Structure 1
């Protein structure tokens, strides 16, 4: 690979360490949640965070990507731009979070969570903080301060994990008299046993509040200014990103609420609809291994793509990046899908959660195509045709709603998984087809399609060829995984010299 591609790989590694370590630490909470909370309780977390993911897009208004774009234009005054964008988000976040807090009672009633108004107040504050710190984090990425970015993110995750262990494990155990009973009166001042799963939201708020002192230099290194003459230009660039993000969140998270309301009662014997949401949400977490790579890649790739926009050999570089990204994701898809017998017992502690594990390979493949889409979307961001991203995401959102409506009553949460796969595949294909017209890039589509078909075939063999003995089955799955990796290495090693030439600036 070229020096530029190696630089991207290096930055991805730094972002990836923070993302992977952070996600792994957070992911270790999944066994805790699935052990301490019934699936019906975890369903509350799953549903409300689906709404949070959707509203987070509204809170940022696409300003993060707009900041990158305008900051990389010739003659841009980055300091002035930073002040402008951060001021906008400070004002809008105060208004939006204030509205949610003011209407927390009616919202709780509408969503059938009466008496849980404080959950919505805490989440409103969480979203406000997330929106405000998005621009300081974007500034760190723009300035190449990946280590500081990673350190702050890891501090947030460490606080989240530590506070969760404190409230959900230590305080709960002491209150129940499992150990250190002498501390029970003291614990009574800070612990409310009736809050239950609400501690997930409370801890999230406390951990997010830590961003403020950690980003104090970036948060105070600006002047509050609202240059209304500049706002229309920022808005014109950012609102399609926001609409695209909203459509993306429909694709990514709206299946949880849809499952709650569209699943026929009694579809899963002995499980309520909210329990089904909890099962699906917990199983969805097992696709985190794919999401880790995608998140780390996105942090590094967006500023990288913008910085390389004017290079004459940038299309060849982009093609090399997509190729190796897809191949890495294919390995993850095979490795995780074939080792779910082990992973499900490690992370899904109650048997009720493991009833939905069949959705995991489908969701892994779906997230792979989402990562491919993020790669392909570079063309409309670099050509200032972000409205195409809006159209593509809106089409995916419409497909998500229609297919979930059709499939959930018949397939349950497996219908949600297949809908996610269909949506992301369609988005990736459409983005590639349009990109060939407006920003041609020599992506090795046929070669990558062949590898993905082989990966799916390997997983299908592992899942559907019956092997009764557990140890023999695991051994066969390990051999299948290693065989796929070996074939990939042998074949693609021969293409590395050609890739270096193609990516050479």
Structure 2
């Protein structure tokens, strides 16, 4: 019980920053879909897809390596890993600066090299600040971590509102023609959706203020022998993360390429990409839960071995992860009928809403995989994680290439789901061989089956009050959790363990 309280408390703390921050960022979907048509946002969907992959190359598994090795010599490995990240980030960023224009031309966006400059700087800042943030997590300085993350996101949201809801309408004359000319000149139409990148860059730069103490404590340090050990541990994680990110992003990278012309009547492939990419953002609710849990669980289970982070507790934590995420899966899925009107402001985006329950479930399986993946990080068999993730990537690629021409962006969603399920099963099999844990897999599968049934019930049109009809399934799940997971004999609920 204590392990659940500890991880739940830390997850809620990290989750506060993650959920509040991502929720504020999520509200930007409202702003972006109001300010731009799907084709105009296509460049953001595509470049952020590539950026997510590049971010892994910039950190190359060193964040996880820090958690694994810092317990031996915290200061030594903090200095060494941050030195390596600063050096490589500088080299990567200079390379992107040098080849910015040719890269953007090859992507179909000539004259947009400035966007890649901004993205390269964002990548460098993300990588360099990742290790100080990892240090805060290891030292359980949650308040500072939360503050830095939230302020950065508030800056990002504020700048998006300034650029797109104030300066853009002023320039177009939507706020009146009598405003001073200099206000109209503050917005440059040629930048357009690129203001989203610029806001992101300025917000990221603000992180250095909050991490100033961690950077003051830093000293340039190098040790080839020690770095070799770090690299041997981390490079399989890098490849695993790359494969995992390709898994998450390849659908958006392949959709525009493999979607036949005229597949969606009256819409281009860029329109389809914009619709899919922005509906995809509605699955952020599950991603938030996974990210918040990883922030607390990773340093805990990769720290010094103790009775509290045993395999039985890992199984218990995994079970409750499934329970909570099933509740989230059902809750979001049955309420999409009003969520879509709130966040996707133009009706052109609504036709892609069917992908959301599928993506939520795919992310749920991915979260279970991340939870189980502790076993190969603890046993230094990170190469197995790479193999599992590459298999998942193969499933994604095959599904997208074969079925996008037939089913459009629905193929992207189902391919992601199939990939996540395959990785979860393979990780479970490997974990039971090398580090067995008493997972409650029958109960967990039962929750997923119940969740799927309740989403189906919520979609039935048999009452005149949609909100009540839709949430009937959610009520069923809540009641089932209360009866199955808690003992009520004493008059108040007690958790069954």
- Report if TM-score (shorter chain) is over 0.5: yes
1:382 corresponds to: 378
1:427 corresponds to: 423
1:19 corresponds to: 18
Specify which structure has the bigger relative contact order, considering alpha-carbon pairs within 8 angstroms and separated by 6 or more residues.
1
Deviation at 1:214, TM superposition (A): 1.7
Aligned 8 A contact 2:56 2:242 in 1: yes
Aligned 8 A contact 2:376 2:382 in 1: yes
Q: State the TM-score, normalized to the length of structure 1.
A: 0.95
Q: Within 5 Å, give how 1:11-160 maps onto structure 2.
A: 11-72=10-71, 76-160=72-156
Aligned 8 A contact 2:252 2:273 in 1: yes
Which ranges in structure 2 are unaligned for 5 or more consecutive residues?
Answer: none
Distance across 2 between alignment mates of 1:51 and 1:35: 24
CA distances 1:194-239 after superposition (whole Å, capped 9, x unpaired): 2110101111111111111221111221111121121110100110
CA distances 1:311-352 after superposition (whole Å, capped 9, x unpaired): 277111111101111100000111111111010100111111
Aligned to 1:355, the other structure's residue is in SS state helix
Deviation at 1:187, TM superposition (A): 2.3
1:480 corresponds to: 473
Q: Within 5 Å, give how 1:365-444 maps onto structure 2.
A: 365-444=361-440
**Shift in alpha-carbon separation, 1:474–1:249, aligned structure 2, 3 A:** same
**Shift in alpha-carbon separation, 1:312–1:49, aligned structure 2, 3 A:** closer
- Whether 1:205 aligns to 2:201 is yes
1:176 corresponds to: 172
Q: State the TM-score, normalized to the length of structure 2.
A: 0.96
Aligned 8 A contact 2:81 2:131 in 1: yes
1:254 corresponds to: 250
Deviation at 1:462, TM superposition (A): 2.5
**Shift in alpha-carbon separation, 1:183–1:90, aligned structure 2, 3 A:** farther
CA RMSD in angstroms comes to 1.6
Q: Within 5 Å, give how 1:273-284 maps onto structure 2.
A: 273-284=269-280
**Shift in alpha-carbon separation, 1:126–1:96, aligned structure 2, 3 A:** same
Distance across 1 between alignment mates of 2:350 and 2:333: 14
Aligned residue-pair number: 493
Which ranges in structure 1 are unaligned for 5 or more consecutive residues?
Answer: 501-505
Structure 1 window deviating more from structure 2 (305-314 vs 351-360): it is 305-314
Distance across 1 between alignment mates of 2:26 and 2:114: 25
CA distances 1:103-159 after superposition (whole Å, capped 9, x unpaired): 011101110011111111110110011000000000000000011101000011000
- Whether 1:492 aligns to 2:485 is yes
Distance across 2 between alignment mates of 1:249 and 1:88: 22
Aligned to 1:95, the other structure's residue is in SS state helix
Aligned 8 A contact 2:461 2:469 in 1: no
**Shift in alpha-carbon separation, 1:82–1:183, aligned structure 2, 3 A:** farther
Aligned 8 A contact 1:175 1:184 in 2: no
